[in-house]
Structure 1
Amino acid sequence: MIEMQDVWKTYADGTHAIRGMNLKVDRNEFLYVVGPSGAGKSTFMKMIYREEKPTKGQIFVNGFNLGKLKQRKIPFVRRNIGVIFQDFRLLPKLTVFENIAFAMEVIESPKKLIKKRTMEVLELVKLSSKAESLPTQLSGGEQQRVAIARAIVNNPAVIIADEPTGNLDPETSWGIMKLLEEINYRGTTIIMATHNKEIVNTIRKRVLAIEKGQIARDEAKGEYGYED
């Protein structure tokens, strides 16, 4: 599913964001990525969906070697990777339905399939009644649910969730986690960066701790391991 072999990422200013990382993530796993700010978590996540390219080493995602991937093939790889951001990144002038459907339109899915699948994921995230609403008419939790629906509408093998509960209140955060667990249960691999100690310690999954660009800890059903 996902494999990193001696992966390094060095930026132009000489910063080593990732240092000699080796990792395997199997299909249908749920992986928390934790660690201090500036530890390399964001770079780690971005390399998986090829927003960043490794300086050295190899990254395989769904059989593709991302380091050697030609630019024109990147969109094909990303069709199997859904990304959820902390700040939602919805298109403000499009309705909820249109925001989700757009992810299928860009890969030129048939119109009938777009309508059917968009309504299916709206039902899954419990937002069918909000299909014609604009993002500004939604709460933060509802906007994040739209972002999740958009990320899963093309049935990706992997979801990359970067602080998906970071801007949400505790009650809403638990609702989002329940939804992510349901998506994982249906067969999607989830990699989630988070600073939420309570969530990690309550919903026990595999925990990958990154410090100074290296894997400091990799535990099945692990704990958060850092002070708030």
Structure 2
Amino acid sequence: MIELKEVYKTYPNGVLAVNGINVKIRQGEFVYVVGPSGAGKSTFIKMMYREERPSKGTILINGIDLAQMKDSKVPLLRRNIGVVFQDYKLLPTLTVYENIAFALEVIEENPKTIKKRVMEVLDLVKLKHKARFLPTELSGGEQQRVSIARSIVNKPKVVIADEPTGNLDPETTWEIMDIFKEINDRGTTIVMATHNKDIVNNLKRRVIAIEGGKIVRDQARGVYGYES
């Protein structure tokens, strides 16, 4: 599903953010990416949806090499990868329904299919009753649920989440994690960068720990912490 081979990323200022990473993530896995600030987690995550391009190495997703991909092909890639951000990134002038539907409208899906699929994902995140609300009328947790619904409306095989609970209180965090768990149980691969020790230690899944741009630990049912 996802494979990184000898991947390096050096920024123009000379910072080596990713230093020779090799890793494979199989279809259907749930993987946490942990590490201290500045460890290279965000760069690692961003390269998986081509927000960043590696300086060297190969990144394969479903057999497609992102390192060699033309910029014109990136939108097509992102139709098959759901991305969830810490700050939601919802369009403020669109309703909940419209924010989610937009992902299908850009690929010219027919209106009947759009309505059916949007209502399905709104049901999954338990927000059907707020379909006509604007993002500003929702709590942070509700906005994140909309963001998750938008990320899966295209039925992607992979969802990449970058600190998706970073702005949420503990109770809301667990509500969000229950949704991610259900998405994963349905067969979607999830790769999640997080600083939240409680999530990692209680909802045990594979843990990839990064320090200094390198993978220092990779455990099938790991715990938080950076020691190798």
TM-score if structure 1 supplies the norm length?
A: 0.98
- After superposition, the Cα gap between the structure-2 partners of 1:56 and 1:226, relative to the gap in structure 1 and judged at 3 Å, is closer
Give, in angstroms, the shift of residue 32 of structure 1: 0.2
CA contact (8 A) 1:64 1:77 kept: no
Counterpart of 1:86 in structure 2 is 86
CA contact (8 A) 2:60 2:66 kept: yes
Q: In structure 2, what is the Cα distance between the partners aligned to 1:200 and 1:13?
A: 33
Give, in angstroms, the shift of residue 87 of structure 1: 0.6
CA contact (8 A) 1:50 1:74 kept: yes
Counterpart of 2:50 in structure 1 is 50
CA contact (8 A) 1:162 1:194 kept: yes
SS in 1 for 2:67: helix
Q: In structure 2, what is the Cα distance between the partners aligned to 1:141 and 1:213?
A: 31
Structure 2 unaligned residues grouped into runs of 5+: none
Give, in angstroms, the shift of residue 149 of structure 1: 0.1
SS in 2 for 1:90: coil
User: In the TM superposition, what are the counterparts of 1:33-182 in structure 2 within 5 Å?
Assistant: 33-182=33-182
Q: In structure 2, what is the Cα distance between the partners aligned to 1:140 and 1:68?
A: 37
Structure 1 unaligned residues grouped into runs of 5+: none
Q: In structure 1, what is the Cα distance between the partners aligned to 2:173 and 2:226?
A: 19
Q: In structure 1, what is the Cα distance between the partners aligned to 2:124 and 2:63?
A: 29
How many residues align? The count is 227
Counterpart of 1:32 in structure 2 is 32
The one-letter code sitting in structure 2 at the alignment partner of 1:166 is G
The one-letter code sitting in structure 2 at the alignment partner of 1:52 is E
Q: In structure 1, what is the Cα distance between the partners aligned to 2:19 and 2:84?
A: 25
Counterpart of 2:184 in structure 1 is 184
Give, in angstroms, the shift of residue 226 of structure 1: 5.3
Q: Pairwise CA RMSD of aligned residues? A: 1.0
TM-score if structure 2 supplies the norm length?
A: 0.98
Q: In structure 2, what is the Cα distance between the partners aligned to 1:78 and 1:182?
A: 21
SS in 2 for 1:51: coil
CA contact (8 A) 2:8 2:54 kept: yes
Q: In structure 2, what is the Cα distance between the partners aligned to 1:174 and 1:166?
A: 12
Q: In structure 2, what is the Cα distance between the partners aligned to 1:77 and 1:83?
A: 11
- After superposing on structure 2, the runs of 4+ consecutive aligned residues of structure 1 that deviate more than 4 Å are none
Deviation readout 1:10-63 (Å, 9 max, x if unpaired): 111111000000000000000000000010001001100011111001000111
